[in-house]
């Protein structure tokens, strides 16, 4: 794959690394952006690169939750000026209600409604990005004040709705990748071990140690790695001395979804 300026800019945005290093990494990986992130991590350059949640466009999101269902609609636009406007937010309200009234199979009709009733007036290209209904025993949602971060958390029947809403806020802030450590595949763990091994080999203070010694050190770190990316094991943002699972108590979360620009 050709290494384009767009790819370089995307890698830079996701890692915070300079353009030249991004170009080198993409060239080495034949334009594979995920492989390039791994290469940068191995060099100790990209310490917190994560997969993007959604396409990086200006957008807004609206979620309506009631009776064990969350109706999620996000719409992309061309400018932040429009995305934060009252008329855009009012449009999102209409589209979420349209989803609620007509179901997920109505996305094509919803897009036509956008184009006929709003695109010309707003003067920008409007596209539906998310259009889904999430169901569960208890469903809680949180949309950040900027309209660009949101989450839905689902729990078993009888779950504490107030606690779940706080956990939904936590999800937007802490960006967990898995529900619990048990959900993390061996493939993901082994890949992280290899990345950490390469990082240590490039460290002048550690590089002279044998692979066996380094792997033992890394093995001791895997518990922390799994906890940091698992919702129930993360330190709760409202009370960092408490894990999310402990905060929830008897409330059992079954799934979560995070939305981000």
Q: What total of structural domains would you count in the chain?
A: 2
Residues 97, 115 contacting (CB under 8 angstroms): no
CA distance 176 to 147: 19
Same domain for 72 and 101?
Answer: yes
Same domain for 70 and 107?
Answer: yes
CA distance 37 to 46: 7
Q: Which domain holds residue 152?
A: 58-174
**Is 64 contained in some domain?**
yes
**Is 104 contained in some domain?**
yes
CA distance 136 to 157: 8
Last residue of a domain, one of 174, 189, 220: 174
Last residue of a domain, one of 156, 174, 192: 174
Same domain for 143 and 63?
Answer: yes
> What pTM does this model have?
0.75
Same domain for 69 and 33?
Answer: no
Per residue of the chain (261 residues), give pLDDT as tens.
788 888 888 888 777 787 888 898 999 999 998 898 888 888 777 654 544 343 436 889 999 998 899 999 999 998 889 999 999 999 999 999 999 999 999 999 999 999 889 988 888 889 999 999 999 999 999 999 888 899 999 999 999 999 999 999 999 999 999 999 999 999 999 999 989 888 888 888 887 888 888 888 888 889 999 999 999 999 999 999 999 999 999 999 999 999 987
**Is 139 contained in some domain?**
yes
CATH number for the domain spanning 15: value is: 1.10.8.10
Of 217, 75, 84, the closest CA to residue 147 belongs to 84
CATH number for the domain spanning 134: value is: 3.30.479
What does DSSP assign to residue 147? Answer: S
Same domain for 26 and 112?
Answer: no
**Is 26 contained in some domain?**
yes
What the block records as the tokens of 15 is 């890692």
Same domain for 31 and 106?
Answer: no
CA distance 192 to 235: 21
């Amino acid at each position: 794959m050709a290494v384009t300026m767009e790819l370089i800019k995307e890698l830079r945005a996701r890692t915070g690394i300079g353009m030249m290093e991004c170009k080198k990494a993409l060239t080495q990986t034949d334009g594979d952006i995920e492989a390039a992130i791994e290469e940068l991590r191995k060099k100790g350059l990209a310490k917190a690169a994560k997969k993007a949640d959604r396409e990086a466009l200006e957008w807004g999101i609206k979620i309506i939750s009631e009776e064990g269902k969350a109706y999620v609609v996000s719409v992309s636009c061309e400018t932040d000026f429009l995305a934060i406007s009252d008329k855009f937010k009012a449009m999102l309200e209409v589209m979420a209600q349209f989803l609620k009234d007509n179901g997920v199979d109505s996305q094509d009709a919803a897009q036509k409604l956008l184009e006929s009733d709003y695109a010309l007036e707003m003067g920008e290209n409007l596209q539906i990005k998310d259009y889904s209904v999430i169901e569960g025993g208890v469903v809680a949602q949180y949309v950040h004040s900027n309209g660009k971060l949101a989450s839905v958390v689902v729990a078993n029947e009888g779950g504490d709705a107030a606690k779940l809403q706080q956990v939904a806020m936590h999800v937007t802030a802490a960006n967990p990748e898995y529900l619990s450590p048990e959900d993390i595949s061996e493939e993901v763990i082994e890949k992280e071990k290899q990345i950490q091994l390469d990082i240590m080999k490039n460290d002048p203070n550690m590089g002279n140690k044998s692979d066996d010694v380094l792997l033992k050190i890394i093995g001791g770190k895997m518990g922390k790695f799994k906890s940091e990316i698992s919702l129930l094991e993360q330190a709760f943002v409202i009370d960092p001395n408490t894990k999310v699972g402990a905060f929830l108590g008897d409330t059992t979360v079954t799934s979560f979804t995070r939305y981000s620009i």
